[in-house]
Chain A
Amino acid sequence: GEDVEQSLFLSVREGDSSVINCTYTDSSSTYLYWYKQEPGAGLQLLTYIFSNMDMKQDQRLTVLLNKKDKHLSLRIADTQTGDSAIYFCAESEERDDKIIFGKGTRLHILP
């Protein structure tokens, strides 16, 4: 079945890089997403990558995809206090298809 796994917690010092990892099981996954959720808020689409890409960079965010191992990572450079949130890894077969989410990684920023 379809499943997305990610670690539940990550603590990083302010100014360091954060790397959040995710694995997925669905070989038909075409789109892989990273969403951010702040307390009491909805989901903010941070970035997404097509399965035929290895890497995508967008300002402080770098997404790496290893399709063979079904492994996705999100790197946040120069982590700031405003980056404190829950980050969800997710996948879908088509862009408008149902999205399968992981349980989220809570990113905690240390001063």
Chain B
Amino acid sequence: ETGVTQSPTHLIKTRGQQVTLRCSSQSGHNTVSWYQQALGQGPQFIFQYYREEENGRGNFPPRFSGLQFPNYSSELNVNALELDDSALYLCASSRDRDQPQHFGDGTRLSIL
């Protein structure tokens, strides 16, 4: 039990649509990171939020955006979906800087 919950577990969208994925962390987890894991690959860092501000971004276009809320939940938004966006999206959170990050079970997004 990691204390990180993601929803939904699975999602099917079509090209050009927009999607919002959600993550809920334990109370006190001020840092949340999002990763994309394509089939057969390791997770790739998308971005991180710390106390509701973006705190680092990987090599992903601006149509990937995020939000973090005061209640320790966060969102990943992806606009203008492309076929290559099909992947498992993972959320990870930790308390400040003294604990390792723990991952949720992810949302599997399929683009048709």
B interface residues, Cβ below 8 angstroms from A: 2, 6, 31, 33, 35, 40-45, 48, 50, 56, 58, 90, 92, 94, 96-106
A10 sits at the interface (CB 8 A): no
> How distant is the Cα of A4 from the Cα of B41 in the complex, in angstroms?
12
Contact of A96 among B90, B94, B106 (CB under 8 A): B94
A45 near B102 (CB under 8 angstroms)? yes
Given contact pairs A99-B43, A99-B45, enumerate 14 new A-B contacts (beta carbons under 8 Å): A35-B103, A42-B6, A42-B105, A42-B106, A43-B43, A90-B42, A94-B97, A96-B96, A96-B97, A96-B99, A98-B33, A98-B58, A99-B101, A104-B41
**Which residues does chain A contribute within 8 Å of B98, judged by CB atoms?**
95
Across-interface contacts of B40 in A (CB, < 8 A): 103
A30-63 to B contact mask, C-beta < 8 Å, 1/0 = 0101010000011111001000000000000000
B residues in contact with A98, CB < 8 Å: 33, 45, 48, 56, 58
Most buried by A among B2, B56, B103: B103
Most buried by B among A41, A42, A102, A104: A42
A residues sitting closer than 8 Å to B (CB atoms) are 4, 31, 33, 35, 41-45, 48, 88, 90, 94-104
Contact present for B42 and A103 (CB under 8 Å): yes
Q: A95 and B99 in contact (CB under 8 A), knowing A43-B90, A103-B42?
A: yes
Q: Tell me whether A104 and B56 are in contact in the complex, defined as CB-CB below 8 angstroms, given that A95-B94, A95-B98, A96-B101 are known contacts.
A: no
In the complex, 25 of the A-B residue pairs with CB atoms within 8 angstroms, ordered by the A residue number, are A35-B103, A41-B105, A41-B106, A42-B6, A42-B105, A43-B43, A43-B103, A45-B100, A45-B101, A45-B103, A48-B100, A88-B43, A95-B94, A95-B97, A95-B101, A96-B31, A96-B50, A98-B45, A98-B48, A99-B92, A101-B43, A101-B44, A103-B40, A103-B41, A104-B42
Inside 8 A of A96's CB, which chain B residues have their CB?
31, 48, 50, 94, 96-97, 99, 101
